Structure 1
């Protein structure tokens, strides 16, 4: 079995609201648990940045579903890699709203990994996005410990 991490970005439909994200999170968490997929999703400024981890066929099928979901447009794969260890193993779906509580620490992480103070994952390289998501996950873990 081949385990992969796929990182993509997309634009959100303009009329999406927080309650829509809660619905996405609840549905995705249950479906992902059934498929042994883990990951993290950041949202901000009308853009998504997400990492999906799991068995290659399951992750590919999920990404193709996402790419055709009308809540997304301009889907771009930033990186795909085989992995031996999951970075987001404790979350079947973790959503981080980048618009919520933008702190100095969050701004520092964004600037460090993208060179910008504006959340714009479409302009990140795959390596930048991967490092950014790992650091965001570490910050989220500290908040829940």
Structure 2
């Protein structure tokens, strides 16, 4: 039987393209990196049997708080600017001692919040009549102080 006594994660903090070296973080522990407080907590543990082997499975929640004294913003240059999506990731927690079977997620990622704006445009309804519709569009990403 494979078992994990305590989950240990490596923390990778990425804010506005500033990469920080990975460091170890434990369940319930808060790590402060450049004013960003990061915590993860195991909220559920279950045992599963896969091919006659028992595995422990964990449900993990990660939280972050911006104590840096400034907000972080990414504005998208166009609707097809996919680099903004990749740059919106704030933290990545990678489990360094996972023993689960296939299809087990070993990574938790937390990203900035989406900044949505409503775009009003003219379109036609099913009868061919011109109407006004509203479409929410992602204009960027943000991570405010606190």
TM-score (norm 1): 0.28
Structure ranking higher in strand proportion: 2
Structure with the larger RCO, 1 or 2 (CA within 8 Å, 6+ apart): 1
- For the pair shown, the structure with the greater C-alpha radius of gyration is 2
TM-score (norm 2): 0.28
Structure ranking higher in helix proportion: 1
